[in-house]
Structure 1
Amino acid sequence: MILVATTGLIWLAATAWIYLGTKAELERVLDTRLQEAARMVSSLVRDAGASAPAAIAATPQIAASEPGGYERQLSCQIWSLEGRLVAASTAAPADRLSSHAAGFSDNVIAGELWRVYAIEDAAKGVRVLVGDRLGLRDRLVNDLVLGLVAPTLLMLPIFAGLIWISVGRGLSPLRGIAADLQQRAADDLAPLHARVIDEIRPVTDALNGLLTRLDAARRHEREFTAFAAHELRTPLAGIRTQAQIARVADTSAMRTAALDHIMHGVDRTARLISQLLALARLESGAEPNRREPVNLGQLLRDIDREGQRPASIIVEIDAGIDAMKVEGDPDHLKLALRNLHDNACGHSPAGGRVRWLRIGEFELAVDDEGPGVPSDELALIRQRFYRGRAAQNAGSGLGLAIVDVALHKVRAELTFSTPPSGRGLRAAVSFARCVSACKFDPVRRGIGVQL
């Protein structure tokens, strides 16, 4: 309905434009004809005598005028300069057409508005007046416009009907899609399979893409909830068991041991919940992603100083990392590097070393001296709650998953490999580019700061 109304308004505007344009052009053409007729009569008149009627009769636009006709609607009067009517056309009014000596003028004669052009010839002693009725001009314009617009007005209902039918048929798939969505269950996120026209196809493709993403998000949420419930059940069950032991313990030593196990279970549960919340915040995208220059060397020293690594673990940070400054969200970078640092420290044995190295212009890595990861498990260790066959600590299996998501937020890539020493695990982080970085010098890579 809106399209039909809009089309009607466009046609009305076009009709008004045609009317005004036609009227202006017709006024110009008819004024030019007045001038030509007056000049022709003036050139044929020899004096204020008998030649005047002959001059009028010899002018085609004026001779044999027919009242109401468009072809010969001009009226002519020839006046002497003394004010005597010398000659006039048959259709000319009895009153003088104009009192102007020369040029165009509009005059009311016998209740009608006339357009008159006057030429005065002092040598011949005559003034020629040629005019026509403006009412006839308006009628001519109306007839011309009606002749142009009438076919369009007749076609407008047909055109509107065709628009209505075409748009209705084109939008009918949308009604089918709406009916399909209304009948669906809340958990039905299957893609739509509607045949639509090309103009609507981008809408259905975008809607199917949205449904696919929602289905993946919901499936991931269910899996995440199931994994989280399973992982929380184990430490909670252990805490309950130790609480029961402490309750019935006969000796203070047994009670103290049970309480120590409870504290350990509480710490593990708190860490798991903290990691779950961190991962949920990262994946939700609720927090704004800031972009600031971050010095990676200083950030690693801050992480190690704030952490709680065992005193027996030795941490080395390559001096070349101090020259690396990347642009990204400081919180996301700190979260990713802290989890990598804690993971390396947690898997290294007492007296082991954790080395942070700069291995490329935009790449750094952390090597630990732990048991390492079999090559067939390297592609799996970033999955949620995956610990691997050789896992020796009581981690939750979420640390590397958090690292992967956080680095993705800052457009960095995480890869795993075995260090050149053949012992432990190397986690490498590749950044798209650095804000500032000195030229990478492999010779300086071994020079570092021991913490």
Structure 2
Amino acid sequence: MFSLRLLLSLLMLVGIVLTVTFSSILSNRDATHEVEELFDAQMVQTAKVLEQFYVNQLTSSQLDALIKQPVLFHVADSQIETLAEKANAVTLSYEHKLSFQLLSEQGQMLAYSDSSGEQLLTHFTQGYDTRIVGGKLWHVYSFFSQPKQVWIITAQRDDVRQEIVSMIINNSWRAPLLITPVMMLMMLLVTYYLFKPVKLLERNLANRSAQDLTPINYALPTELGSTQKALNNYLQRINETLARERRFSADAAHELKTPLAIIKLHSDGLSDELSAHGEAVQQATLPYINAIDEGVNRISHTVEQLLLLSRVDAIDALNRQDCQLQAIIDNVINQLLHLIADYQWHVDIPNELTVNADPFYLELVLKNVIENACKYSPVDSVITVRAEQTNAGINIYVSDQGSGMTDEQISLAQNRFYRVDENASQGAGLGLSICQHIISLHQGELSLRRIEPQGLLVCIRLPAIS
């Protein structure tokens, strides 16, 4: 399974990253192109200014003097990058990254700046070129001034251009890098808010009991309205199906009671009739009569449980009241005297212990649990019934020394029609399911646990009296 919130956040993050990356690539390309155009134009403009205001003012004698003794334009060292750092600055470190040279037609040096020295920057071809000077890459523009027959060379270091491009690109990345975490947090908060109705629906379904099939009515977004409607229709269909099954079980159980009673009556009559034909005939037919009685008793027990299951499933409200737990246990034991005589009993129920429950249904649960303890325990073994009060409520424990159950059997025991031993068990597999349903109506819990080396512990937890 995957998280829609996480997937949505990741998709939005990927979208932001792709957008920033694509825009940065375009910005880098455009910035590089514009910077190249700007500084190339600057070199051309500088060359024309030098021609207009310096070269054209030179006389022939001045040119001859410059050939003999070139002029060096010295730029003082400076740590100031911009005039904004120091208002009265007269030099900038940036000047060391610019250079110019004036050369005669024959290539003799007339004037130059010390940033490039006397190394020639041009190949004496008008236009743009690049040269390596002092281990640095320089962009060079060569211009030949016809009036004075002088080459005017302007140059600029490549790192000037790269620095500006780098600053533009860094700025295009810096803002998204700062904003993306904020956007991610905002997206998580927004998706959390948007998915709150889904969580509300999830909690409602998780906290519902298995018998609660009432419609779900929440103010959900339009996108979830159809889901809620479909879910309510599904719940209604399940409710109608279960109601039909309960009616069928009840009707079938009622219909079976009469023929079972008739079979039992005829079996007793047949047994009386055969007893008049002598002991030999009676002994020969006794196994068949016993088999009929056993089958009728087994089916009758199943019918009674089906009727009880139908009755329990139809419960809308319990008749809960405060009652003495000791009195309920005594009633159960009195009803099972015919069954419990072959076992050793240890009953530890405090006299003052009071439970808030429906006494009829709680008695039914305890009767079923104690009856099971007898059914699956060897004769003369010890069966213990005890209770204790905790902060959360009251716990009732019934333990035996029978064969117990495996973890797999315990996990399946409360399913309807499940029997631990399909061959030996005489029940219909409905007892624990009925008990679990009754305890859940009390907002309690029924659990099973294996006892070592052998035996089973049944724990009934009932909430405290509110």
**TM-score (normalised: structure 2):** 0.43
